[in-house]
Structure 1
Amino acid sequence: MDLSDKSEAGAKTFEEHLQNIADRMIQYQNYFKEFVKYTTRAKLNTKTIQKALELMMSIPERAADLQYISKIVQYPGDLKKLGRLYRHDPFLVWQNNGTEPTECYAFLFKNTLLLTEKDSKDPSYYKYSASIRVKCLISIYYMY
């Protein structure tokens, strides 16, 4: 029996198994939302259930952030040591007056702003350009 026979017999593909995980995460999030709703109606403490819900809600976002981080190339250090990724966005840079802007991509970590460019060979990757240490930026970021 080869792999195609298993597929026809009802065995799931790798992609289908991954989709099941995503569906299960949504299901758990919905369960915790219901727990919070009914615990609130019962006038009981919902603090721990709300923390569990926040954790479940943050997992897909964190997974997406890790995918972005894994696509940064030529960084001289360990990207995992930069901590949590707070934000990532494209932006335009003008180097001289009257020139066309260059699109760059910024990654904001706890204490570092990482500047990258799209890799010319593979645009799904980000080539490291520079980093800026930022101590007080996070407190300003949360003010807005």
Structure 2
Amino acid sequence: MAVLPRDDPPGCQLVAANGWTLVSDDDFEAAQREAVAGTAWVIDGNSLATLPIRAAAADTIIVVDPHPLVCLLRILRRRLRYLGGQHSDEVFDRITGEVLRYVMTYRARHLPRVVRCISEHGRDATVLHLRSRRAVRRFVTETRRQRDIGRRG
């Protein structure tokens, strides 16, 4: 989970404190509440426990949901690239059987709970469900186009 306020550089992590030590659930929830109290923010993450906080405050929710086999191929590619070590952004490659099971069962077991939570708590938000790299590219292209039109207008 990373919180990226628009005015701050990337890398403000909420889950990880110094040295990627997990923060307490209470501290994590408090940081989520503080982040969404701002006027402009982007939060990337999949914590279902704090999704109600984010969904209730969001004007737009983007669910990126590639096919599980695509996810597994990307995991394999990262494993081969970093050989199970540390990435350049100081993240350790910790791929376990539990992670692989989560990826393979996400759409059936976890996504329905995410969708229900968004429906319940993000009623006023625009929800985009992007299932492919092509859909993500189209979204980014359209968003940039609209931004550029707004700058000219």
Range of TM-score over shorter length:
under 0.3
TM-score, with normalisation over the residues of structure 2?
0.23
Larger Rg: 1 or 2? 1
- TM-score, structure 1 as length reference: 0.25
Structure that is richer in helix per residue: 2
